[in-house]
């Protein structure tokens, strides 16, 4: 009797490992995922691209400087008639020209299109940060979904191992009783069947656990044997009221924040397109060097020129076939579309939050109910085991009490992890997932 009570105490305590393997804590799993997960790495690369795009080197505010150089060589047959009546004929006359220049071009004013494009690039970088944050949040939810699945299966393996131990001892006891004529062959066969079923169930759950660990390695970005255990302890952290969390949803939800950035980008794009109605003022300058070596028919044998020139130009596209007007109209429509998307998404996020909150409350209730159910089934198993030892009930009734207790413990563990995942979803929707302790 005392041995079975110890089993029951083992069932009801948090399980942290049944073999000597490395313990992968929740904090360590998060750290590894943030460093190694491929989805997060891709999101970070996209953010770096957006960071480069918003820099001054991609703004259009810097001038363009180009260098040019050239050399031309000529061999000509020339007949030159001069004003004084003289004539010169040259065969194979050689001449060459060499030139080099530095050119600078700068746009002084382009209707403010450059300014709004620059602001748009900054907002696109801010948007990329939010997109990376959303990727991290989704990855963490995926991580804990798999992590808690490993934890639940770990506890299921331990429970099934203890159930198999109980069944083996019952089989041994039934065999001894049959040998001494205190039991029937049927009781021995029933006990043997239960041992076989528990062995099969244990093998199946172990395989499921191994698969779940490999799935966890994928999320962690690791390619190595899953020789680790996970932490099966769970603590719940949501303390604000539903109203307080909903206020956070409206300000901190990452999806809504991205829509705000998209609206700002669309507004800047609209203003940039309107810049097509205004003129463009440009400044250009050139510093050049030219050298000519002429043939004998020229008045000058050679010449060298150096000089600086500058130009201020104005260009005003008075009519370009209506393209600017079309771009402005489409930009207005896109801006309105982004506002509609925000309104639609706000409604969807509000619904998702309300559903997630109700689901979280329901799962917490189920978890508390399953805790009480474990206590009830533990008491029932103890009494059933005592009556079984006294011969007052059959092995089938004892087996049913054993199964009921194992199922109750598994249901409690499953409810615990489901409630925690529901909590994490509430935290994500309210924008607090990355600020919470796991």
Phi, psi of 296 (to 5 degrees): -70, -15
pTM: 0.85
Q: Provide the β-strand partners of residue 287.
A: 102, 308
SS3 assignment, position 226: coil
The token pair at 269 is 């794009």
pLDDT in tens, the chain (438 residues): 334 434 444 444 444 444 457 999 999 999 999 999 999 999 999 999 999 999 989 988 999 999 999 999 888 777 767 667 677 777 777 888 899 999 999 999 999 999 999 999 999 999 999 999 999 999 999 999 999 999 999 999 999 999 999 999 999 988 988 888 877 888 899 999 999 999 999 999 999 999 999 999 999 999 888 899 999 999 998 777 899 999 999 999 999 999 999 999 999 999 999 999 999 999 999 999 998 887 766 666 778 889 899 999 999 988 888 999 999 999 999 999 999 999 999 999 999 999 999 999 999 999 999 999 999 999 999 999 999 888 888 888 999 999 999 999 999 999 999 999 999 999 999 999 998 877
Contact 431, 249 (CB under 8 A): yes
Residue 264 has a pLDDT of 97
The three-state (H, E, C) secondary structure of 134-194, written as one string: HHHHHHHHHHHHHHHHHHHHHHHHHHHHHHHHHHHHHHHHHHHHHHCCCCCHHHHHHHHHH
SS3 assignment, position 17: coil
Q: Which helix (H) or strand (E) holds 132?
A: helix 113-179
Q: Collect contacts of 199-206 with beta carbons under 8 A, ≥24 apart.
A: 199/164, 201/160, 201/163, 202/157, 202/160, 202/161, 202/164, 205/153, 205/156, 205/157, 205/160, 206/157
Residue 52 has a pLDDT of 94
SS3 assignment, position 25: coil
CA distance 245 to 242: 5
CA distance 26 to 186: 49
CATH of domain 2-63+110-279+320-435: 1.20.1600.10
Residue 20 has a pLDDT of 56
- Please enumerate in sequence order all residues whose Cβ is within 8 A of that of 226, keeping only pairs 6 or more positions apart, or say none: 210, 213, 214, 216, 217
């Amino acid at each position: 009797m005392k041995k079975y009570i110890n089993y029951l105490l083992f069932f009801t305590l948090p399980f942290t490992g049944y073999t000597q393997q490395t313990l992968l804590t929740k904090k360590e799993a998060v750290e590894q995922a943030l460093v190694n997960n491929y989805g997060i790495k891709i999101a970070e690369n996209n953010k770096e691209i957006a960071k480069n795009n918003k820099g001054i080197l991609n703004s259009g505010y810097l001038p363009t400087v180009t260098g040019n150089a050239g050399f031309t060589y000529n061999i000509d047959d020339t007949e030159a008639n001069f004003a004084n009546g003289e004539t010169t004929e040259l065969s194979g006359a050689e001449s060459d020209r060499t030139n080099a220049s530095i050119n600078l071009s700068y746009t002084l004013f382009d209707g403010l299109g450059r300014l709004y494009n620059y602001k748009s690039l900054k907002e696109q970088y801010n948007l990329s940060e939010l997109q990376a944050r959303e990727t991290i949040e989704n990855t963490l939810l995926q991580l804990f979904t798999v992590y808690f699945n490993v934890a639940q299966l770990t506890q299921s393996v331990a429970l099934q191992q203890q159930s198999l131990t109980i069944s083996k001892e019952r089989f041994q006891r039934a065999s001894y009783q049959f040998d001494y004529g205190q039991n029937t062959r049927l009781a021995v066969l029933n006990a043997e069947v239960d041992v076989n079923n528990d062995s099969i169930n244990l093998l199946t759950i172990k395989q499921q656990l191994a698969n779940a660990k490999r799935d966890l390695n994928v999320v962690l970005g690791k390619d190595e044997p899953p020789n680790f255990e996970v932490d099966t302890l769970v603590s719940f952290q949501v303390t604000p009221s539903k109203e307080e969390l909903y206020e956070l949803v409206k300000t901190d939800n990452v999806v809504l924040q991205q829509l705000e950035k998209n609206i700002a980008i669309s507004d800047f794009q609209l203003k940039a397109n309107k810049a097509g109605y205004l003129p463009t003022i440009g400044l250009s300058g050139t510093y050049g060097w030219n050298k000519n070596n002429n043939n004998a028919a020229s008045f000058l044998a050679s010449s060298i020129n150096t000089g600086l020139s500058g130009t201020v130009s104005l260009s005003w596209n008075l009519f370009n076939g209506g393209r600017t007007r079309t771009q402005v109209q489409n930009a207005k429509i896109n801006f309105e579309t982004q506002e509609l998307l925000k309104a639609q998404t706000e409604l969807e996020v509000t619904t998702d939050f309300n559903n997630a909150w109700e689901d979280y409350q329901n799962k917490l209730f189920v978890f508390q109910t399953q805790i009480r159910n474990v206590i009830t089934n533990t008491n029932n198993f103890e009494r059933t085991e005592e009556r079984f030892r006294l011969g007052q009930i059959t092995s089938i009734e004892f087996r049913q009490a054993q199964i009921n207790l194992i199922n109750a413990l598994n249901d409690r563990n499953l409810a615990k992890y489901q409630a925690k995942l529901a909590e994490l979803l509430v935290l994500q929707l309210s924008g607090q997932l990355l600020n919470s302790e796991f």
